[in-house]
Amino acid sequence: MTVQSISWEQDGIDSGWFFAKDVGSVRSSSSYRPGGWWFLPKWLPDTEENDVGPFKTKAAAMAQAETLTARQLATLETLTARQLAT
């Protein structure tokens, strides 16, 4: 997966909730918790201290989600390469 291939989908019930496979979800303050938009990374435990945000806009939250996902993928690739080299 690359950042270019991330596809955000809106939840069919909660209009303030967007999700992307292997990335996580972005939720609005009306849908989740006050303060703005929040990113909930899929690779971290689903606890409040792992929420990223708040962001003023959905676009800002999604951009940060994509940036952090790219970093996470790069880290995993590096670790895998190191394990294969040993």
* Residues 15-60: tens digit of each pLDDT: 999 999 989 999 999 989 999 999 999 999 989 999 999 999 999 9
Give the domain extent around 19.
7-85
Strand partners, 24: 20, 41
Total tally of structural domains belonging to the chain: 1
Does the model's pTM come out above 0.85?
Answer: no
Q: Which two tokens stand for residue 15?
A: 């209009």
Asked whether residue 1 is assigned to any structural domain, the reply reads no
Residue 2 falls within a domain, yes or no? no
Q: Quote the tokens at residue 37.
A: 């938009």
Please list, residue by residue across 4-25, b when 16 or more beta carbons sit within 10 angstroms of its beta carbon and e when fewer do: eebeeeeeeeeeebbbbeebbb
- Find the radius of gyration of the CA atoms of the chain: 14
Instruction: Tell whether 80 is covered by a domain.
Output: yes
